[in-house]
Chains A and B, each alone.
Chain A
Amino acid sequence: MKKLCVVLDEREVQDNPFQPDMWRIVRRYPLTSDVNFYQARPVDVDEALKMNYLPGQFIMLSIPGEGEAPFCISSTPSRPGLLEFCIRKMGTLTSSLFDLKENQTVGIRGPYGNSFPIDKMEGKDIMIVAGGMGVAPLRSLLLYILDNRDRFGKVTYLHGAKNPGEMLFREEFFQLKERDDLNCLLTVDKDDTGKWTERTGLITTLFKELGPIDSKNTYAAVCGPPVMYKFVMENLVKLGIPKHQILMTLERRMKCGVGKCGHCAIEYLYTCIDGPVFTYWDVLHMKELIGRGVSDKVIA
């Protein structure tokens, strides 16, 4: 009873969590034929350094009149001031985003979601497995780790794309490959250019190249198309990485980002506030986390 009276009688005035702030697109360029890269900063530049977020979080992005949808953040908070996104042309909102030019504005609110458990990951070996668009949230994590390199153990980055033309951040990852404090393995399913110098084959083929792994001391982070999870999970479990140390970030329909609209519900969890980062241990309990069939196979 007491609690409710507080709610009703002493309501503190709070900001509207649905209120988008206007941000300016300061840079955009194509990553592939249907994926664009965007950099944005608040229209009010004094706000630029106030955006605190962690790798794995997302924002709700609006174009007035076109609607609003969740997008993961591809930049790292260790390089503050700008937010970066990779956006694939998929529907109405993303098509409108493709038409936006530099200096036009979009609405942004957030950040939302639970993020990768950076505190727990510090001091551990890290394995990041990115397939296709899955690189979008994982780039944030990878860059964050590289920017704070001495706080983490061995870092391995596995990246799979359909073909060289579909690979996101191609130049960036080829540069990262040169670093001696990162084991960066890149593969394409198929090389249709004849010029590809890295591995060919599904992302799981990269697992054969991994040296010995201190599995109990390793956190793995995975993101990719649903079909990829099944095979990657099998490999990670085989390596002996504890299930609660296998992290994945998920996509769902969202209309609010703050646990109200219901669309991203999975049993008693909301992807927006309890996720989007979940562990493989969660998946074993929550049958719908990575889709029916997929999780059944993983369990078997």
Chain B
Amino acid sequence: MMILKMKKEDLPAFLESAKEWGELWGPTTKEGQTAYSKVDGLSQMDLKATRTMIPPKKFLYPPRFTMFDFDEEGFVERTGDVPKRILFGLHPCDIHGILIMDKLFLETYKDPYYAERREKTLLLGHSCIPDDKCMCFATNTDFVAEGFDLFFTDLKMFYLVWVGSSRGHDLVRMRADLFSRNLDKNDILNYTEYRKWKTAQFKAKIDLTGMPDIFELGYNSPVWDELAEKCLSCGQCSMVCPTCNCYNVVDEVELGTAEGTRDRFWDSCMFREYSVVAGGHNFRDKRADRLRLWYTHKLQAFIGEFGKPACVGCGRCVSTCPVDINVATVSKALKEQEVGK
């Protein structure tokens, strides 16, 4: 892949020119909470923040949107009102999360709503500073080699810039004067040093090897019931997980008419009615069953199908779950057959 070099002080000018393509969005921190916001430039962004509360999936797959307008005659697709956006500052885990969403939404039966937003969004990654909640080293998502248009690795004085797509290359060409192809020995040494530094930052203790077998063995484990005693079924884990894709669909009718919209919104398999069929039979009535489904899907099923976990190690479940149920505590509880305090 093409790797270029850019002076760090040139980033604002580059982003300014990139804005010609579309709206610029980046991580901003207000009152201790980091979120992607529309920004004018680099000065408003917080590139040191480890994670946003909600992953960037919300841009490709909004929490709620209208799929169709309908009346008695039928359904009319609603697409086309999506702005062009540049997302700057995505971390490797988030890009891995989007790659998993791509698998789900763009392969068999391509989802036109996701595809449209994906097409109208440029992903500009940025290297990150891991904290004690980061688990990407255990999910093999601490570095990323695809899925982005550009990826900026911060090497103090310089950025090394990976060019991941033709469109990313177009952005570079808009300010070709800011980029250099001449990489020397020091760049390689600096990059090696950076990788070493990053790998040394991880504090979390987590090991996901053998998880599919441990899940299979632990299917009837009382650990699930113990975890379920604590779980509030609030579904926040699904909202903040970069790879939770489940949704619900509802028809909203304009009062007094036959017109309305068919809307799609984020759902969670933690919710009681998630698996209820007509007549009221619930395939997952017990909270333990729903909890197991969530974690099975992240740590067993996806590995079985794609050879990697659906968890990208972003640590959002760790920072979000009010009762400390997360990938780290659940995998540990299953392995040790004991729910930690």
Contact B278 A90 (CB under 8 A): yes
Smallest Cβ-Cβ distance to B282: which chain A residue:
A253
Cβ contacts under 8 Å, A251 to chain B: 277
Cross-interface CB contact of B110 among A17, A62, A64, A90, cutoff 8 Å: A17
Query: SS class of chain B's interface: helix, strand, loop or mixed?
Result: mixed
Contact of A259 among B99, B109, B253, B293 (CB under 8 A): B109
For A21, the chain B residues whose CB sits under 8 A away are: 74
B277's nearest neighbour on chain A, judged by CB, is: A253
Residues A94 and B74 in contact, CB atoms below 8 Å apart? no
Per-residue A-contact encoding for B274-293, CB less than 8 Å = 1, 0 else? 11111101010000010001
In whole angstroms, what is the CA distance A172 to B72 when docked? 35
- Tell me the interface secondary structure of chain A in the complex: loop
Min Cβ gap A224→B in Å is 13
Given A17-B111, A253-B277, A260-B111: A64 in contact with B166 (beta carbons within 8 A): no
- Give A160 to B75 CA distance when docked, in angstroms: 40
Q: Verify if A174 is at the interface (C-beta below 8 Å from B).
A: no
Instruction: List the A residue with the shortest CB-CB distance to B106.
Output: A7
Interface string of A243-270 (1 = CB under 8 A from B): 0000000011101101111110101100
Query: Least Cβ distance of B94 to chain A in Å?
Result: 15
Asked whether B279 lies within 8 Å of A90 as measured between CB atoms, the reply is yes
Q: Does B338 count as interface, using CB distance less than 8 angstroms?
A: no
> Is B250 on the interface with A (CB-CB < 8 A)?
yes
Which residues of chain B come closer than 8 Å to A91, judged between CB atoms? 278-279
Cβ–Cβ contact B247 & A65, under 8 A: no
Given the known interface contacts A90-B279, A261-B267, the answer about A267 and B300 at a Cβ–Cβ threshold of 8 Å is: yes
Query: Interface size bucket, B side?
Result: 35 or more
**Can you name 21 A-B residue pairings with CB atoms under 8 Å?**
A1-B1, A7-B118, A17-B109, A17-B110, A17-B111, A19-B77, A64-B70, A69-B278, A90-B278, A251-B277, A253-B277, A256-B247, A258-B109, A259-B104, A260-B104, A260-B111, A263-B269, A265-B269, A268-B300, A268-B304, A273-B108
Could you list 5 further interchain pairs (A-B, Cβ under 8 angstroms) beyond the known A11-B115, A88-B279?
A1-B146, A4-B165, A261-B248, A267-B304, A268-B301
Contacts from B to A (Cβ < 8 Å): 1, 67-68, 70-75, 77, 79, 99, 102, 104-106, 108-112, 115, 118-119, 145-147, 164-167, 219, 245-251, 253, 258, 260, 262, 267, 269, 274-279, 281, 283, 289, 293, 296-297, 300-302, 304-305
Q: Which residues of A are at the interface with B, using a C-beta cutoff of 8 A?
A: 1, 4-5, 7-9, 11, 14, 16-22, 62, 64-69, 88, 90-91, 93-94, 105, 107, 226, 251-253, 255-256, 258-263, 265, 267-268, 273, 287-288, 291-292
